[in-house]
Amino acid sequence: MSQPTTLAGIQPAGASAPGRLNADHYRVLGLSTLGGALEFYEFVIFIFLAPILSAVMFPAEVPAWLRQLQTLGIFAAGYLVRPLGGLVLSMLGDKLGRKRMFGVTLILMAAPTLCIGLLPTYAQAGAVAPLLLLLCRLCQGMAMGGEFPTAVTFIAEHVPERRLGFSIGTLGAAFTLGTILGIFALMATGAMFDKSQMTSIGWRVPFIAGGVFGLLSSWLRRHVKETPVFEEMRRRKDASEVMPLRTLFRRQPREVLICLAASATTAGVLSAALLFPVTYLQVELGFPRDVVHHAQLWMTLSLLVGTLAGGALLDRFGWVPVITLFGLATAAGIGGTFAAPDPHSLRYGWALVGFGAGFTTMMHNILVRSFTPEVRVTGIALTYNLSQAVVGGLLPVLMGSVVHFWPMGLVWIPVGFIALAILVTPLSLRYRKPMHVAHAA
């Protein structure tokens, strides 16, 4: 009987798995995280440059608030197509290979980002300008839907299983790093151009830089190898014989529900505790903008540390104790920070929230271990993107309505998602799958 291919692709099942990451593993981690960094970089620059985009992409006679609403609607359209794009690309990833889709998704993200920086304005092209902007966002959204599921699977099927938590943590850290790079890109652009220059040409620079970075990253990805797990599937012709979506619902429906819940906790905590307060503290409570942004930077840096530290602890102590500990730390930080918000101590409490929220990246371990290899990318794409679209898309709107009448909702809504994470983690252990391809006797 032949031996199964392990997660590391190095030793057979039952052999002692290596506990260290080698140079090839770090190379895989570096190239796998580039797409996530670009996604969050693009998120930051689009949101912050939305007022300028609304001014240059729509007619001046339209009220400013309506132009802004139309611009944000175009931005949101990218998230609406994300589940569809993710499902299509992920099924191809399960059928044709992780590596092939790994290159496609990054190109489909980077090329539209570059194109946004080169688009004509409304004054130059009329109504064609916002239509082209919409087309770029739709392409980005579809690609983003396939990028994370492919990247996290690519990492999981390459690295040693004993280092899976830390390795997936690097992907979460890349999201945070992309956010920081976006902020610095905007600061640098603002220092280079005055207000009138930003409206005429300066706004293009961050998009062009991001697009070039993404295209260069996609070229670098050409040199990575297919995962050992998919190579084994290809040898046994498992991939060609399986219809991923049908197989997923027929054989692993409980795993789909568990991963929907796990992904919802990630989207819920990030939206309710890390993103929504940025606007709420300024608009509803009147906190100075510089105070909020300074505290946000502390929170973001703490999140970067929390994702890496939490991932390393996860490998050493296991899912349940570490996710529970980090979840409780997040809840304590939320209660201390938002029950009675104080601008003088905001940065310290929010930093604790950010560090503890590193558990949201740990929840991705549940996704990669819940599905068998032949439907792994499809299962992750379906559950992650659907939760992001529904919870991540609707929760800020819901909180904007609820918190106005129930201020403690700023505390209890994210704490509710933390409780869900603590409950679903031990349940997921019952359905955890081996990372390798099972062999018949």
| Interval 155-192: pLDDT, tens | 999 999 899 999 999 999 999 999 889 989 988 998 99
Instruction: Print burial letters for 82-103: b (CB count within 10 Å at least 16), e (below 16).
Output: bbebbbbbbbbbbbebbbebbb
Q: What is the mean pLDDT of residues 278-295?
A: 84
pLDDT at residue 378, rounded to an integer: 94
Q: Which of 230-239, 350-359, 405-414 has the lowest mean pLDDT?
A: 230-239
Stretch 250-265: mean pLDDT: 95
Q: Which residues of 276-295 are buried (b: 16+ CB within 10 A; e: fewer)?
A: bbbebbeeeeebeeeebeeb
- Could you tell me where the DSSP H helices lie in 58-158? 64-80, 82-96, 98-118, 122-125, 128-156
User: pLDDT by residue (tens digit) across 10-59?
Assistant: 333 333 345 688 889 999 999 999 999 999 999 889 988 988 999 999 99
Pick the closest to residue 93 from 140, 149, 38 (CA basis). 149
pLDDT at 10: 35
What's the one-letter identity of residue 441? Answer: A
Question: Residue 218 pLDDT more than 80?
Answer: yes
pLDDT, tens digit (0-9, with 9 covering 90-100), for 355-380: 999 999 999 999 999 999 989 999 99
156-167 burial by CB neighbour count: b if 16+ within 10 A, else e?
Answer: bbbbbbbbbbbb
- The radius of gyration of the chain from alpha carbons, rounded to an integer in Å, stands at 22
Q: What pLDDT sits at residue 18?
A: 56
Confidence (pLDDT) at 3: 41
CA distances from 27 to 52, 220, 391, 420 (A): 38, 10, 33, 35
Q: How far apart are CA 151 and CA 36, in angstroms?
A: 8
The rounded mean pLDDT for the chain is: 88
Which are the contacts of 69, defined by CB distance < 8 A and separation ≥ 6? none
Task: Decide: 299 and 354 in contact? Cβ < 8 Å.
Answer: yes
Least confidently predicted of 43-57, 134-148, 427-441:
427-441
pLDDT band at 437 (very low <50, low <70, confident <90, very high): low
pLDDT for the residue numbered 14: 35
pLDDT at res. 434: 75
Q: What is the signed CA dihedral for 238, 242, 245, 246, rounded to 10 degrees?
A: -140
Helix (H, G, I), strand (E, B) or coil at 408: coil
Q: Which domains does the chain have, with CATH numbers?
A: 22-241 (1.20.1250.20), 242-441 (1.20.1250.20)
Structure tokens at 334: 């939320």
pTM: 0.88
What percent of the chain stands above pLDDT 90?
59
Worst-scoring range by mean pLDDT, 146-160, 171-185, 388-402, 408-422?
388-402
- Which helix (H) or strand (E) is 198 found in, with range? none
Instruction: Provide the pLDDT for residue 252.
Output: 92
E strand segments, 172-306: none
pLDDT of amino acid 439: 42
Least confident of 251-260, 262-271, 275-284, 411-420: 275-284
Per-residue confidence (pLDDT) for residue 396, from 0 to 100: 82
- Which position has the token pair 């898309």? 393
Mean pLDDT of 101-119: 93
- Provide the 10 A C-beta neighbour count for residue 318: 13
